[in-house]
């Protein structure tokens, strides 16, 4: 399952099609069964963003506002075409979403960014496998399992210094699903 904390301090747990919200003030947990299974979690305010399949079985990013647990809805935010799949989830910063996809129709990868409710814009196209997307201060990055970091500059992947631990040692591997 997946866990995070909402802006109002409540904890949210997502496991398949079940979401549980724990209120530390009241000590109560509310569990809700959703209409589909989900397999990723990012939080912005009191809204979660997650990946599931829509009614056409296409991978989709959904948003679920948890402000009022008696009235929640699963809203399609970004739906991929047939044969296109999210590569290691997505990154969320405010209402901006950065995501890398693998397109089996062309055997390639593309990085997209959606700002607010605007249409997604392709930031880069590459052949590099296994890169997770990370949005930091509105700057797009791609991060590899083997600690390779690319900053996207005008559609080009510009390699950055490796990430290091607090003692300055390079990371041996990066869990790109958790960045």
**pLDDT band with cut points at 50, 70 and 90 for residue 165:** confident
pLDDT tens for residues 14-30?
Answer: 999 999 999 999 999 99
pLDDT of the residue at 3: 96
Compute the mean pLDDT over every residue in the chain, rounded to the nearest whole number: 92
Pairing of strands 74-79, 59-65: antiparallel
Q: Which residues pair with 114 in a beta bridge?
A: 97
What sections of 48-162 are H helices per DSSP?
A: none
pLDDT tens for residues 85-119?
Answer: 999 899 999 999 999 999 999 999 999 999 999 99
Phi-psi region of 155 (alpha: psi -120 to 50; beta: other; left: phi over 0): left
CB 143 within 8 A of CB 126: no
pLDDT tens for residues 59-74?
Answer: 999 999 999 999 999 9
Cβ burial, residue 37 (10 Å; 0-12/13-18/19+): middle
Higher local confidence (pLDDT), 40 or 161 = 40
């Amino acid at each position: 399952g997946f866990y995070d904390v909402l802006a109002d301090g409540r904890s949210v747990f997502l496991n398949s099609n079940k979401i549980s919200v724990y209120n530390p003030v009241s000590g109560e947990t509310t569990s809700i069964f959703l209409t589909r299974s989900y397999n990723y979690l990012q939080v912005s305010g009191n809204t979660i963003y997650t990946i599931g399949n829509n009614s056409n079985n296409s991978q989709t990013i959904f948003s679920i506002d948890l402000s009022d647990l008696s009235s929640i809805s699963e809203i399609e935010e970004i739906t991929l075409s047939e044969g296109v799949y999210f590569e290691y989830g997505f990154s969320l910063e405010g209402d901006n979403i950065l995501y890398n996809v693998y397109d089996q129709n062309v055997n390639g990868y593309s990085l997209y960014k959606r700002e607010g409710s605007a249409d997604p814009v392709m930031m880069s196209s590459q052949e590099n496998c296994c890169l997770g997307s990370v949005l930091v201060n509105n700057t797009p990055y791609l991060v590899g399992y083997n600690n390779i970091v690319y900053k996207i500059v005008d559609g080009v992947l510009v390699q950055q210094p490796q990430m290091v631990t607090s003692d300055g040692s390079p990371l041996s591997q990066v869990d790109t699903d958790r960045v």
